[in-house]
Structure 1
Amino acid sequence: MQFKESMLHCYLVGGTQDVNHDPEQFLKSVKLAMDSGITAFQYREKGSSQLNQQQRVELGRKLKELAVQHNIPLIVDDDVELAQAIDANGMHVGQKDQRIEQVLAAVGKTMFVGYSCNQINQIKHANELPVAYVGSGPIFPTNSKNDADPAMGLPKLHELVKLSTHPIVAIGGISEANMQSTLETGVAGLSMISMILQSPDIEKTVTAVNSLY
C-alpha cells in the first residue's frame, strides 16, 4: 500500500495496554474505530504489555485482516520483526527506538516509515531521509505515554511544520477542544490514543475528527 498524506487525518495508535490489557476488548474497539472511519492504525504494544511475541503476532495478524477489510494502513511501532511477520504496511520509529537508518535499510520498499521528531535538529535530520511522514508531540500533556517528553505546545509545533519537508501528524493530548487549533498549525493530521480508545462513543469521536477536513 502506497503512503498518502490523507492517511494521517485520523490516525489511531494503540495496544492492549490502552484497554486494561484485554486483547478481545482491544480488537473490538479498533474494529469500531475502523468502522467509524479512522484513516490509519498503528499497533503499539509497549513495555507494560502482557503479551509475548507469539501473542503479539497473532493479534497483529487479526489487526492486519481488519485493516485490509477497511482499506487502511496497518503500521507497527518499533518492531521490524513483528511488522514483517504480519505483513504490515508501515513502520513507526521513535527517537529512542532502533536507529532510523537501520529500519529504512531493513524494510526497503516493502513498507513506508514514519519517524518521531520533536526538535528542530531532528526535523532537519528527517528532511534528509526517505521517510513518509513525521510524528511530533506530545503537543499537550498526556497520560497515554509514560515516557512522553514535556508538552511542546502549538507555537513550537507550527515551527516544526514550517521546517519539515515531510507531512507531520500531531500526537499527545489531542482532544475535541484543541483539535481544530492543532490543525491550524499546518499539520497533515491528528494522531490519538486515549481520545478514541477511551471514548464513551468511538463513532462520534472519529466522526468529529473527520469533520475537520
Structure 2
Amino acid sequence: MSRAERLLDLIQLLRRHRAPVSGPALASELGISIRTLYRDIATLQAQGADIQGEPGLGYVLRPGFTLPPLMFTADEIEALVLGSRWVARRAEDARLGDAAANAIAKITSVLPEDLRQSVEGAALLVGAGEVTPAVVDLGAIRLAIRSERKLAIAYRNADGSATERAVWPFAIGFFDRVRVVAAWCELRQDYRTFRLDRISRMEALPDRYPRRRAVMLKEWREREGIRPS
C-alpha cells in the first residue's frame, strides 16, 4: 500500500468513528506501527485535517476536511481521459468500462475548475472497432487473475480441434480485434495464450495455482522479450 492510500484509509477510518478512537486501535486496523500512525496523523494535520487528540487519549476527526486536490498536467489529464474512453468503448467488459467512467468522475470532482474543464473538454476521441466477440465473461477472468485461481476452459484451436484444459491465468492482452489471456497450461506444461473468442466454455475452479501471478508474468515477459510498460 502506498503512503497516499494509507493516508486516505486513515481519513476514512476516522470518519467512521464519531467518538475518539485510540492510537493502538487505529494502527491495528490499518496494519501499521504506532509510530507510523503518529507520523501519518501529523502529516494530515499539517495538510489541514482537524484531527483532535493526542497519544493516550484517542483521536477524532472534526467534519469539513477533504484531501487536497489532485494536481495533473494537461498531458496527464488527456492521457487519463483517453485511456478511460478507450476502456469504456473498446474493452468489451461492461464492469471495467463503468469503473473507468467512475474513476474519471472521482478525479474530476476534486480538480480545480480550470483542470476540470480540461477533462470535460478533452479532444482525444476513441473510434469504434471491430472486436471479435467473446462468449465467456472477461470480468470473471479478471477476478480469477486477481485471486490467483485456476480456470477450466474448453478451447478451440486455429485448426478447429477442441481441447479441455486447466489453466493458470495471469494477464489479459487487449488487441485491436481480439482479446487474449496469457496463462500456464497444465495440458502443455508451458505458457500459452488463448483467444477469448475461441473459449466456448469456462469455469472458475476453487484451487489456487501454486505459483505467484507476478512471478509468472515476469518469467513470461522475459521469455517473450516483452518489456514492462
TM score, norm. by length of structure 1: 0.27
TM-score relative to the length of structure 2:
0.25
Higher strand share: 2
**RCO comparison, higher one (Cα < 8 Å, 6+):** 1
